[in-house]
Amino acid sequence: MASRKRPVGALLLTHGAGSDRNHQSLLAIEHAAGHLPVRRMDFPYRKEGRKPPDRAPKLIASINTEADSFCKEVHIRPSRLVLGGRSMGGRMCSMAKAEGLAASALVLIAYPLHPPGKPDKLRTQHLSEIDVPCLFVSGTRDPFGTPEELEAATSLIQAPVTHHWFDGARHELKGLDSEVAEVVVGWLGTLGRNG
């Protein structure tokens, strides 16, 4: 009997600028993922006990290193790894993918499209280089990007994009960790059906 192909082999999760690998939403996703291998990583500045985030090139390099290590650990091809994370971490994953890191999909939670109150400073230059399915999970009152702004920006992505909106929620998605995890794991399951 032939086994069913499963494109999603593992999930690498990154944290936001002011958090770390133990953020409750990342823990909730790992718990909800069940049998799927999950690694929650710390960026270098957190490992070194510093508060200010490193610059993007160092953050992206650390994602590349963790992705390579994780794929070897769980014995999957890099093309079966899903990258994702919260806020800054998710943005860095999207930039790493745009720069050529192999991955099967992106999970972007509370994506920071622009700094609060500065909608003219869009962080969209790399989006047209993304060619894998993407899930964006956001609150409708997130000051880092309105639903209209985010949906317009993500139309640049050259692959299917799914948006899940939590009505009235802000950037922190406070109190919604289990709901976010359910959305993420449910979406990952759809990737395994038609791979």
Predicted confidence (pLDDT) per residue in 4-37, tens digit: 445 799 999 999 999 999 999 999 999 999 999 9
Q: Does domain 10-191 have CATH number 3.40.50.1820?
A: yes
Give residue-wise pLDDT tens across range 98-142: 999 999 999 999 999 999 999 999 999 999 999 999 999 999 999
Q: Can you give the pLDDT at residue 162?
A: 98
For the cut 90, the answer to whether the pLDDT of residue 2 exceeds it is no
pLDDT at residue 191 is higher than 80: yes
In the predicted structure, residue 1 carries a pLDDT above the cut 80? no
Confidence (pLDDT) at 174? 97
List, for residues 31-52, the tens digit of each pLDDT value: 999 999 999 999 999 999 999 9
DSSP 34: T
pLDDT of residue 6: 55
> Whole-angstrom Cα distance, residue 165 to residue 180?
10
Cα 40 to chain centroid distance, Å, stands at 11
Sheet of 81-86, strand order: 38-40, 10-14, 81-86, 105-109, 134-139, 161-166
Looking up tokens 């999207």 gives 94
- Alpha-carbon distance values, 55 to 17, 59, 96, 106 (Å): 11, 6, 13, 21
Tell me if 195 sits within 8 A of 7, measured CB to CB: yes
pLDDT at 63 over 70: yes
Give 63-130 as a DSSP string: HHHHHHHHHHHHT--GGGEEEEEEHHHHHHHHHHHHTT---SEEEEES---S-TT-TTS---TTGGG-
From 74, 87, 92, select the one nearest 8 (Cα to Cα): 74
